[in-house]
Amino acid sequence: MEISALQKLRYTYKPKLPAGLSGEITEVALELGAPTESISDQGELRELFKHTYGKPLVAFVRGKNDKIQKKLTVGVILSGGQAPGGHNVIAGLFDGLKKGNPDSKLYGFLGGPGGLTDNKVREITGDFMDQYRNTGGFDMIGSGRTKIETPEQFAAALETAKKLNLDAVVIIGGDDSNTNAALLAEYFLAQGSAVQVIGCPKTIDGDLKNQYIEASFGFDTAVKTFSELIGNIARDANSAKKYWHFIRLMGRSASHIALECGLQTQPNICLISEEVEANNLSLGQIVDQICASIIKRAENKENFGVILIPEGVVEFIPEMKKLIAELNDVMALNAEIFAGLGNFEAQIDWLGGKLSPESGTLFQSLPEEIAKQLLMDRDPHGNVQVSRIETEKLLISMVEKKLSQLKKAKAYGGKFSALGHFFGYEGRCAFPSNFDADYCYSLGFSAFVLIASGLTGYLASVRNLTAPADKWIAGGVPLTMMMNLERRHGSQKPVIKKALVALEGAPFKTLAAFRDTWAVKTSFVFPGAIQYYGPPEVCDQPTRTLRLEYRP
């Protein structure tokens, strides 16, 4: 198979490790902290996780570790959506296992958690591993979104572990996947099994983070990839001077991607879902904000611009949130009736008497294409798939309508032409940046040390990420420490708490300090492509978000 010159070179890249993980493998020891508590609901979670609750924080230090050279058999799972660097987590885990004991084995479960329950597996050998080092994607073993949640699935996972004589399972995933990891660790211990479970923090959305998990892997590469594309479009806009570009970005529950890309590229407008909710902004008020920028720029003869939109913003707009909730309830209760309706017009007529007056009016006002998306694209639970709603087209349509009204009232004299874009899949499997290549490799190696040291129910942790890699601090965080109880599908469930954009945090405050200027004055920044070879200040820098959150 033909491969690119860059890919050949990336195979040879040697990821950097924190000082605590480099050197002689027998000198990587553990330093245990005090017992931990969950974020909230301590009593309930202590009862749910009788065997794994309250474990101490762990840091890796130089010292003697007699367990590190034990022969191990480990299985690894890629769970959920793709994120750049996943292959390097597996590489760090593989190299750690082989460094500890050359006879150790690593198995990859195929297609995500379903590979564990169905015993679909392949052994990861050195030659096979070398084909995927420092590359993007999850194609090495594939991923999947199966949740291990039924008694039968848990029992099947344990049966597979027994058949393969596994010492441990490593789950590479986001908050839901690592919640599953915590439940699996608890289940194994409750069944008297010694199989350990360790998680690694993955999601390009950036919403799996806290004091001890400073960043989820893949976020760095994804936002740099998106920012390059946004910068290219901004340069084109400033060249042609005739289009407004509405760019929807991945990020349903949190707006970390939009915020970071806003900081990197300085668009005219960058919507942040958490701010929309906090200020109780209506769809009309958002349209008014956009129109205000368009009008002011038109007065300067600049009939062009760039607007960034988080994909999940519609769920944070109060009246849209209410409409979506009503549609979910109505269609869930009347699924068979709705399925039997012949066409869109019939569906609209049927819904007329089922929605509240406010939601009914809003629904009728939406562009037909958006209304159809709200009705047709449902997830397995019957809910609207918000990620498929083309919010950029909705806003373009509403802005056009508003500007037309203003033009008739002689309150606007500019020209408005808009183009819509969605950036999501372009960033999920990109070649990992040097930062993500190093960070992911360190996470995988950390997972090995946690396993070799006999721990279970932990998430691999690498901190101090704004420093050079050799100054990073590696260790582990108890999964239960990051949990709370949330209502899911009608009952209280233990989940790892999502980290939303903090409106009092330095990254958002920095954006807020400049956005009035950016809204009127062309201030675009053009980040360019990710660089892999050159000075560290060009190739190894973390995101603006990290630098602002952890600046000295």
Q: Which of 267, 271, 248 lies closest to 306, judged by CA? A: 267
Q: Is 278 left (phi over 0), alpha (psi -120 to 50) or beta?
A: alpha
As a whole number of angstroms, the distance between CA 371 and CA 344 comes to: 9
Cβ pair 468, 439 in contact under 8 A: no
With b for 16 or more beta-carbon neighbours within 10 A and e for fewer, the 402-415 pattern comes to: bbeebeeeeebebe
DSSP per residue, 333-398: HTHHHHHT--SHHHHHHHHTTTS-HHHHHHHHHS-HHHHHHHHH-B-TTS-B-GGGS-HHHHHHHH
458 bridge partner residues: 198, 478
Residues in a beta bridge with 171: 77, 199
Which amino acid is present at 472?
W
Distance, first Cα to last Cα, the chain: 48
Question: Tokens standing for 455?
Answer: 């721990």
What separation in angstroms does the CA of 198 have from each of 82, 97, 452, 457, 506?
19, 14, 11, 6, 32
d(CA 403, CA 412): 7
CA-atom Rg of the chain in angstroms: 25
Q: How far apart are CA 462 and CA 92, in angstroms?
A: 13
Q: Is the distance from CB of 536 to CB of 467 less than 8 angstroms?
A: no
d(CA 523, CA 234): 10
Sheet arrangement for strand 168-173: 28-35, 56-62, 473-478, 458-463, 196-201, 168-173, 73-78, 105-109, 121-123
Q: Find, among 174, 264, 162, 159, the residue nearest to 213 by Cα.
A: 174
Measured in residues, the chain has a length of 552
Handedness of CA 93, 95, 99, 101 (dihedral sign): positive
| Alpha carbon distance 372, 349 (integer Å) | 13
Is 205 a residue of the active site? Answer: yes
- Residue 471 has what DSSP assignment? G
Give yes or no for a contact between 297 and 305, defined as CB atoms under 8 angstroms apart. yes
Query: Can you tell me the distance from the alpha carbon of 516 to that of 280, in angstroms, rounded to the nearest whole number?
Result: 20
Considering the candidates 95, 205, 207, 438, report the single residue annotated as catalytic. 205
Question: Which tokens in the block code for residue 366?
Answer: 């939406």
Is 503 strand, coil or helix?
A: coil
Q: Which residues are catalytic?
A: 205
